[in-house]
Amino acid sequence: APLILWFRRDLRLGDQPMLAAAAALGRPLLPLFILDPETEAQGAAPKWRLGLAVAAFAEALEARGLRLVLRRGPALEVLRGLVAETGAAGVWWSRLYDPPSVARDTAVKTALKGAGLEARSFAGHLLHEPWEVETGQGGFYRVFTPFWKAVRDRPVPPPAPAPDRLRGLDSWPMSDRLADWRLGAAMHRGAEIVARYQAVGEAAARAKLAAFLAGPVARYGELRDVPAVAGTSRLSENLTYGEIGIREVWHAALRRREEGAAGGAESFLRELAWRNFSYHLMHHTPQITRSNWKPEWDAFPWRGDSAEAERWRRGMTGEPFVDAGLREMYVTGTMHNRVRMVVASYLTKHLLTHWRLGLDWFADCLTDWDPAANAMGWQWVAGSGPDAAPYFRVFNPAGQAEKFDAGGAYRRRFLAELSPDPGAEALAYFDAVPRSWALRPDQPYPAPVVDLAEGRARALAAYGARNA
């Protein structure tokens, strides 16, 4: 009887524990992707980017004689229907860890097992399952450095190569057409522009990893904070859809550390551990994705949406480093990590706005959106999260720009108004934003939404009042 492989954020053939186990059995395989309400609920950019990932994965399966069957509807309903149609004996999937996925998968597993079917979930999205890493007392880690000490030398299973032989079905059940799903329908922000920056699929992801490890990794430690330089791996977009396996990335970086790119490779491994840490936190404290991790922050006078917050979303705050970051996100679908911290600090401190508003905006705009990393990032900057930067440490965007974008190359790259001869990327922002905003590159650059010193003082006063 066929085995249904329910793919979600594991759209690859190599370093795929579920697929390796299924291939070893020699049973006929029915690869499936479901557009269920949980997946539909994603933001515009990640949903659009998911469509590219699914298309590339379907092609990779096709080349091996398999078909990716596409179905739409609540997961359990779809799975039951497909079992009835094909006589499948079971459903396998790679585990996810965000609260909506966990709720769905738990219900699916219980129901399938209750119907006498084999329902099995596999590891594969993370270096270690979030519950495997424990403190000496048997609890979970709330601070990164001891977590890092616990995982730095912890063995990670080696990546399995893509299976040589995969057995498909003799006759395939009917499939939706991907185009009919219109996954890009909500992407009003210039999908053709963002598309130029995406490296879609397993082969592209692997090539990116190889290129990074052959060069930039050596100077990663010093250049990872310089947004004008392509000094990081840019793998987040691929990791989030599982176009490349984390174990493969980890082992490749370990080899580079041994071969001599020591310092850079070590810093890179540490960042991969940050990703795992965010999942560790989300597993043990799922509320991190929506509410203050430290409940005492519930009393903080965060502001809700406002005209200032809208100017932030638009990249029109008048603070160049902040605007450059938000515009980078419009144009490329991503934003440099240093700048993510600066724009998040500006929103939550200078504009005193609730971090959830920023989290939601990122979730709508980032093609590398990840539920755990996004939540941890926002709460870390806002001060409400575990191991967070203390609230009184307010990033000064001008100071950050001076330090990490000394020559101004990054700001010029994305801010047309600041240059007599703006480049293509700075101009692309004006094509990417909705026409209704009526923005033109020859308009003057906006005056600052808030004076930096005043914004800082206001944030600290609110913080002091809360502590009083």
Tell me the HSE value of 436 on the side-chain side, using a 13 A CA sphere: 2
297 belongs to the catalytic site = no
**Does residue 370 touch ligand FAD according to CB under 6 A?**
yes
Residue 274 annotated as catalytic? yes
Interface with ligand FAD, residue 175, by CB under 6 A? no
Return d(Cα 444, Cα 16) in angstroms, integer. 51
User: Active-site residue 454, yes or no?
Assistant: no
Total site size for ligand FAD, rule CB under 6 A = 27
Residue nearest to ligand FAD (CB): 377
Contact status: 410 vs ligand FAD (CB under 6 A) = no
Least spacing, CB of residue 289 vs ligand FAD, in Å = 11
Does residue 313 interact with ligand FAD by CB under 6 A?
no
Report the C-alpha gap between 37 and 40 in whole angstroms.
5
Q: Answer yes or no: 238 catalytic.
A: no
Least distance to ligand FAD, CB of residue 339, Å:
9
- Taking CB under 6 A as the criterion, which residues in 200-259 touch ligand FAD? 224, 232-236, 239-240
Query: What minimum distance in Å lies between the beta carbon of 221 and ligand FAD?
Result: 11
The minimum distance between CB 161 and ligand FAD, in angstroms, equals: 22
DSSP tag of 418: G
Choice between 234 and 350, CB closer to ligand FAD: 234
The burial class, CB within 10 Å (0-12 / 13-18 / 19+), for 120 is middle
Residue 166 or 209 with smaller CB distance to ligand FAD? 209
Contact window for ligand FAD (CB under 6 A) among 165-173, 202-210, 293-301, 368-376:
368-376
Does residue 293 belong to the site contacting ligand FAD (CB under 6 A)?
A: no
Sheet with 90-94: list strands edge to edge.
69-72, 29-35, 3-7, 90-94, 118-122
Question: What DSSP character marks residue 70?
Answer: E
Distances (CA, A) of 430 to 168, 177, 452: 47, 33, 26
Q: Which of 48, 92, 355, 361 is catalytic?
A: 355
148 is catalytic: no
For residue 387, state whether it binds ligand FAD (rule: CB under 6 A).
Answer: no
Place of tokens 């994965």: 57
The DSSP-derived string for 109-160 is HHHHHHTT-EEEEE--SSSS-TTT---TTSS--SSHHHHHHHHTTS--PPPP
Indicate whether 384 belongs to the interface with ligand FAD (CB under 6 A).
Answer: no
* CA–CA gap between residue 440 and residue 121 (Å, rounded): 51
CB of 48 within 8 A of CB of 183? yes
Any contact of residue 302 with ligand FAD (CB under 6 A)?
Answer: no
- The partner residues of 29 in beta bridges, in order of sequence, read 3
- Footprint on residues 323-352 left by ligand FAD (CB under 6 A): 337, 340-341, 344
Q: CA–CA separation, 356 vs 382, rounded Å?
A: 10
- The question of whether 271 is a catalytic residue gets the answer yes
**Residue reference for tokens 């043990």:** 284
Mind telling me the catalytic residues?
A: 271, 274, 302, 337, 355, 378
> Which residues bind to ligand FAD, rule: CB under 6 A?
224, 232-236, 239-240, 271-272, 274-275, 278, 337, 340-341, 344, 362, 366, 368-370, 373-374, 377-378, 381
